Structure 1
Amino acid sequence: MDGMWPNLDPALLLSIQKIFKSPLNLQAAFECESDCYDLIVDLFPDLIDEAIRNSAAELVRWQVASAPAFKRLRLDAVSKGWYGLPSSSRSSLDLRNSYSLLSQSSNITVLELASKKKQRKYRDEVPDVRARKVDEEKRKYCLLLANVIKQAGLPIVQLVDSLDDPSAGWFHLFAGRRSNTLKNRYKSWKPFQVWLELHRGRTFPISCKDIIDYMQCRVDDDCGKTVPESFSVALNLLEVLGRVPEDQQLSKDPLWIGHVKSWTAEISADSAPRKPAEMYTVSMLLALELTVEDEAEPVFIRALSWVVLVMVWAALRCDDVQAVLPHRSQFSGLGLRLVLGKTKTTGPDKPQKEVMAFVHRTISLTGVDWLGIGFEIWESEDFSFRRDYLVMEPKKDWLGVRRKFLPPADLSSLIRKLLGALRIPQLRGGRWELGGAQLLLPDGLEMHFSGHSPRNFLTSVAAVLGFSKDMRAYLGRWCIGMTSSEEYVRTSRQVIFKIQTAVNRSIVEGKDEEYHEDEALDSLCKAAESSGANPNRIRKRHAVMNTLSGRHCLGLVYPTLVIHEDDGALAEDPADIVELPVLEDDARKMLELSSKGDAAAESSKYFVTVSRRTGHRRLHLMGCFVKPSNCCEVRLCNSVTADDFDSICRACRKKMIAETGRDAPEESSSTASSSSTPGQRDDED
């Protein structure tokens, strides 16, 4: 192809060859003599007009004479393009590297990488994810509190720094305190540290004046009644662990103690009395049992209904539910036995390593075998993967689950969504059934109940039926530590089963004692009236107990559920009792980032910003409203892989989707919303 250049002046031809890589490029640069004239003027503005016209005429003649040869070259290039990749500036690239270069610089590939990375994050979550999250949070607040002690220069600092491994020494300094305990202590201390540094120029108090002046400011600003005591406890923790001499500890100064007691009394006098969690009504329990049986409902709604019923009859909190070890759960003719691992009062570092929760096999208000049906759901393939918690995140439509840990606060929100979708139970022909589209808790009344409401039901009814405080202590596992582990397991199951069957019988047929839920109904109706709903309508939907049988009850025959030996109940299998394996932490790859100049930024297609606080890496397109020059850490790149970023900027994702011709997905609402639920029906009067 080198012999196909036009016959021009050597100096002029050399300049043209520097601009056009081949004669084919030069031939395609103009179409007629006027275009050629303008091209030469733009390239060589210093040439005289005669030289320009002569060169233009020669180029046009050369273009016409070489047209057939150029046509063959173009056809040949097109035919080869079907079977080969475009040539790269780096001739040493092989086929694999060429493909990688193309794929990593495509927006379609970047979107797919982000989607697969998110899916892999859910799929690859380790079995002991809950324990790891707790350990990570504990280590975080241990280091934060240790930093407070270091800044204060307390006597313990020199001792810990003299250890061979000071970082481990600071972590072990806080002994077996829970992550939530350390978190609360740090959050109580941090505002004081900021105030003291701003007003006194130091980070640790040196006299009672510092702490009294600070707390007086908080009291004048209408702080909560627990603020003075919480701050005092945090101060005492730092002084005790920091080895401050006892006679110099401000937290034990009589002046300070007197102020704390006085402040607490003053604030408590002006605040509303503390109310226990609102109790579920019997109609809600009936609706939950029927929902577990209803195969038309999404599978996660049925599974979550089972969890709420277990919380009611086993007196569990949301935090207790997420401490259940599913692989240790056992279902037999006696009922359900759940093993709770690390909770607030149990764990490897506590006297009581683990504790049990029990539900009797025949507990049912409607005659539905909700315990067995729900257990089969949780033993199905989608729900029975290895983990150290019970409830996982649901999919958007609640037709399946994601293998991801659900925090207790989010579980409480999901339960409220479930309650807001419950339909009215109706007694037809001696059998309980779910009504039409009418909701049991319309107009947002599910917000009347909290995450502790399920735990409050059984203990409250048991107190009404006359069970002593010592017996009721077994329901919420408050009596652990009073007996040995083996004795507790044997005794607690008998006591719990006795209370559960008595409560069940009382509600079903009114024997041996009657239970009246007037207070629960009055409280719910009052909440409905305050929210603008009709309280009489709410009372009518929840008033399922009557006196037609001569006693205040559901009017059914106890027991409503009879289990025969040949019904296929699962027996306890000791082989299923295995310990959760301890997995080694995966090594995290550190990404070295460096800032680059404006020239490099203009030539890059993507850039990745890195959060200083969390290290989160977010991918952006060049031209995003986020400017690389305004970010602390930035990595510029023309191609990316799945390991180069954690998420994509929302604005840049929309731009990528638009460039690839796809439809933008609709924004999904948070799972914590309680205003709507998949499959929720409109309320009809």
Structure 2
Amino acid sequence: MASDTEGESSEEDVRDLGSYSCEDLWRDLPEVLRASVSPNAQLPGPDVLGNFFEDLCDVDSFIEATCTGVEPASKVHLRRVLWTLQLRAADQLQRIQKRRALIPAATKFLLSRAATKRQKLQLAGVPPKPTSFTTAWLRSKSGAIKRGRVRRTRRAKLLAKAESELSRVEIERQELERWRQELASLVSEAKLPVVGHSSSARDPELALSLGLGSARASTIRKRVREWKKFRSFCLATTDEVWPRDKYADVPWPDLICCSQILDYLHERRLEPCGHSVPNAILGCFAFMEKAGGVAPADKLSELAILRNTVNVITTELQAHAPPTRKAPMMPVSIIGATELAIADASLPLYMRAFAFYKLLRLWSASRASDLEGLDPSSLKMSTHGLSGVLDRTKTSGPGKRIRFLPIFVSCKVFFMNPDWLQQGWSIWCSTEFQFERDYFLPLPNTDGSAAIHSMATYARTLALSKQFLKLLRKPAWGGHTWQLSASPLIEAEAALCFWTEHTERNWLVSVLASLGVPRDKRDYVGRWHIVTASDEYVRTARHVVLSLQEEALRGVCLDERWDLLNGGLEDLPSFLQERGCGERLVQIQSQALQLRSCLRVCLGPQHVRPNSASAAEAPEMVAVDARAPMPAVLQARAEELPPFYIAIVGKGRLRRLHRKGGCGTATRDLREMLPVFELQDAVYDSACKHCWRNGENPGEDAGDGAASSDSHGSDSSSCGSSSSEA
């Protein structure tokens, strides 16, 4: 009867405390009682807690012996908590015992033996005995597989944990402040001149931190880490943190000695290090001297012996280094499948939005880090296409020469889905993606139906790219439109690693280079040529970029020499074979990605088609759209572009007007140049005396005669009044 009463009371106790978790119940116990059950006062496992008490009387005696002077009501509560924890642990223990019963006896013995040995080592404080096997053996003969992992930086970890929608600016500011303090401590330790300059300021620490320059956090981190390696070498050889002769007793900076640097370079050469390490060491010294305010005459990084040594060591290391693997081009089959994926309702909404992100990177030739600085509120859709502004990129942002960088995507560039730009834009304008933030690509939620308020870092973007490639299906021509078939586009998993995150960056530039477009035009696409953010330059850049995008589309559709349709696929079979794929799988994967040359007439806008006679006789372009006449610049050959250009020179930014072929000035040698396609409204300060000789107005070319007088008549009349000033 007593046992029945005891069972009923225990069930009542469990019912009363059923809404609390085991962790909450454990924290509710006094600390002295928890320490008596577990040595570290942590919640013990079910193996311990499930067999700790025999019955409720045992619980009462344990409370009496442990908690003296406790009120009776508190004892009743503690009794109920302990008994509830034991009943829950007993249920878990029963499930564990059932799983253990399925393990073979031999495996149990080996596991218990290993666990016992590990516990003895932990109790004795003895570290595990190191193995005598080498890493080379581990990689080549052990059979173990090493997973490729992307190390997450402290900034990436903070961004992943950030809850604020506008967290990127604050986190980057904190990261910059952290590395500035690290750099300031190293500069102070080396007693560089900037320390003495800032010591008399009202706040020396703040003055020193601000006087170190405006480098990015990633740049400071890279230089500081390289400097710490050399600092350890100097401390071990001379007990000094700055290179100096250990036998000389001359205060810095009267002594300039690079023997320590030469010795360090020689040691790294014998390692042997990577071929980029010597230049990284030299760049580290140049950075520290610039941040430390070292005078030009005292800079070690400018010594000829040091620079020559770095060049020779780099040449030696490059002789034995394998060739650098360039990012392969993206075949049109993947680009077209990505366009069709935007309209594929069977895909999660986030993956359709991610397809738009991939195409935006491809046509704007952007890095993954570039679009981190793309403010969604800056994106605008017009009749020409999509435009936006990049902020805080590798080459733009506060403290940089260029504050903002523009990007453009023409509405006429497509291979298989003419509406991909509008469809993708509508997805990004939906409520699932329209929330205030200072970055472009957010992370997806669990089911991919929307985005969460957290930025996608490079590592997460890399994983999303591989996941997206898995979801792509093979495109097929349906007679009038392109459609997605049921078969996957990527058959071999090893092919997912063939394309890198740099593939989108170099695709458009590689296509334009194959078509013979001059480099000074290609630089506009990747924003390498941008040297100012004026409204005039943005208008010029938009005109050039949109024209080049449409020219690249036309070139891919009409090209028969370079096989741009299947660019990059020639290296795929060898790549798959190196990763253990069978010959049959390699053949299937290559065929799935190949587009037959006869299908090129089905790609792109309807007016971009070779005629039925032969592709060789096809005109370079056929403009039939009366609403949007094609600019004359697109109808000219690449070597004839542009007819005029303005060279901006000097600190006063003098604008000198040139004409194509008028003088010996080469546009590729100019640091800043504005192409001028029409002289109407072109603003310049002076005209080149060789391009525009006495008596000739800008816009008139004596060599062209009457042929050019008609085409530039309006320009000549508009600029005639300024000929005397030129």
TM-score by length of 1: 0.61
Q: Are 1:469 and 2:507 an aligned pair?
A: no
Deviation at 1:350, TM superposition (A): 2.2
Among 297, 301, 309, the residue aligned to 2:347: 297
Q: Are 1:229 and 2:267 an aligned pair?
A: no
Higher mean C-alpha displacement, 160-169 vs 263-272: 160-169
2:653 match: none
Q: How big is each residue's C-alpha offset from its partner over 1:311-369, in whole Å with a ceiling of 9 and x where there is no partner?
A: 11111110111110101111122211121111122113223221111111132211341
For the residue of structure 2 that corresponds to 1:319, the secondary structure is coil
% identity of equivalent residues = 28
Among 587, 591, 598, the residue aligned to 1:540: 591
2:614 match: none
Distance 2:337 2:521 in 1: 29
* 1:652-667 aligned within 5 A: none
Among 168, 174, 186, the residue aligned to 1:130: 168
Q: Are 1:189 and 2:199 an aligned pair?
A: no
* 1:200-599 aligned within 5 A: 200-206=238-244, 207-440=257-490, 442-481=492-531, 485-508=534-557, 510=558, 515-517=563-565, 520-533=568-581, 534-547=585-598, 554=603, 557-558=606-607
Among 158, 162, 166, the residue aligned to 2:200: 162
Q: What amino acid is aligned across from residue 376 of structure 2 in structure 1?
A: P
User: Taking structure 1 as reference, are residues 172 and 325 closer, same or farther at Cα in structure 2, changes over 3 Å only?
Assistant: same
Q: What amino acid is aligned across from residue 175 of structure 1 in structure 2?
A: G
Kept after mapping to 2: 8 A contact 1:284/1:440: no
For the residue of structure 1 that corresponds to 2:369, the secondary structure is helix
Among 180, 185, 190, the residue aligned to 1:142: 180
Distance 2:398 2:387 in 1: 20
Distance 1:537 1:304 in 2: 27
Q: Are 1:172 and 2:221 an aligned pair?
A: no
For the residue of structure 2 that corresponds to 1:357, the secondary structure is strand
Q: What amino acid is aligned across from residue 419 of structure 1 in structure 2?
A: L
Deviation at 1:502, TM superposition (A): 2.1
Q: What amino acid is aligned across from residue 544 of structure 1 in structure 2?
A: L
Aligned-residue Cα RMSD (Å) equals 3.4
Distance 1:429 1:329 in 2: 35
Distance 2:296 2:513 in 1: 45
Q: Which runs of 5+ in 1 are unaligned?
A: 1-34, 44-73, 89-119, 566-685
Kept after mapping to 2: 8 A contact 1:464/1:515: no
User: Taking structure 1 as reference, are residues 514 and 208 closer, same or farther at Cα in structure 2, changes over 3 Å only?
Assistant: closer
For the residue of structure 2 that corresponds to 1:131, the secondary structure is helix
User: Taking structure 1 as reference, are residues 185 and 297 closer, same or farther at Cα in structure 2, changes over 3 Å only?
Assistant: same
Kept after mapping to 2: 8 A contact 1:251/1:257: yes
Q: How big is each residue's C-alpha offset from its partner over 1:449-486, in whole Å with a ceiling of 9 and x where there is no partner?
A: 111100111111112223221111111111111x5521
User: Taking structure 1 as reference, are residues 555 and 286 closer, same or farther at Cα in structure 2, changes over 3 Å only?
Assistant: closer
For the residue of structure 2 that corresponds to 1:318, the secondary structure is coil
TM-score by length of 2: 0.58
Distance 1:265 1:428 in 2: 55
For the residue of structure 1 that corresponds to 2:438, the secondary structure is coil
For the residue of structure 1 that corresponds to 2:275, the secondary structure is coil
User: Taking structure 1 as reference, are residues 121 and 238 closer, same or farther at Cα in structure 2, changes over 3 Å only?
Assistant: closer
For the residue of structure 2 that corresponds to 1:284, the secondary structure is helix
Q: What amino acid is aligned across from residue 268 of structure 1 in structure 2?
A: Q
Kept after mapping to 1: 8 A contact 2:194/2:208: no
For the residue of structure 1 that corresponds to 2:386, the secondary structure is strand
User: Taking structure 1 as reference, are residues 201 and 225 closer, same or farther at Cα in structure 2, changes over 3 Å only?
Assistant: same
1:153 match: 191
User: Taking structure 1 as reference, are residues 122 and 473 closer, same or farther at Cα in structure 2, changes over 3 Å only?
Assistant: closer
Kept after mapping to 1: 8 A contact 2:392/2:398: yes
User: Taking structure 1 as reference, are residues 484 and 290 closer, same or farther at Cα in structure 2, changes over 3 Å only?
Assistant: closer
User: Taking structure 1 as reference, are residues 396 and 216 closer, same or farther at Cα in structure 2, changes over 3 Å only?
Assistant: farther
Per chain length, whose mean CA-contact separation is higher, i.e. which structure has more relative contact order (CA < 8 Å, sep 6+)?
1
Deviation at 1:401, TM superposition (A): 2.0
User: Taking structure 1 as reference, are residues 437 and 399 closer, same or farther at Cα in structure 2, changes over 3 Å only?
Assistant: farther
2:709 match: none
Deviation at 1:546, TM superposition (A): 1.1
Distance 2:476 2:439 in 1: 35
Distance 1:441 1:205 in 2: 57
For the residue of structure 2 that corresponds to 1:340, the secondary structure is strand
Kept after mapping to 2: 8 A contact 1:465/1:514: no
Q: How big is each residue's C-alpha offset from its partner over 1:228-254, in whole Å with a ceiling of 9 and x where there is no partner?
A: 111112112222332344444322333
Q: How big is each residue's C-alpha offset from its partner over 1:511-570, in whole Å with a ceiling of 9 and x where there is no partner?
A: 799853455111122212222333322221111141367x7x74983469x9999xxxxx
Q: How big is each residue's C-alpha offset from its partner over 1:33-91, in whole Å with a ceiling of 9 and x where there is no partner?
A: xx9xxx9xx99xxxxxxxxxxxxxxxxxxxxxxxxxxxxxx9xx9xxx9xxxx999xxx
Deviation at 1:123, TM superposition (A): 10
Q: What amino acid is aligned across from residue 281 of structure 1 in structure 2?
A: P
Distance 1:412 1:306 in 2: 16
Kept after mapping to 2: 8 A contact 1:546/1:554: no
Q: What amino acid is aligned across from residue 236 of structure 2 in structure 1?
A: L
Q: How many residues align?
A: 454
Q: What amino acid is aligned across from residue 520 of structure 1 in structure 2?
A: G
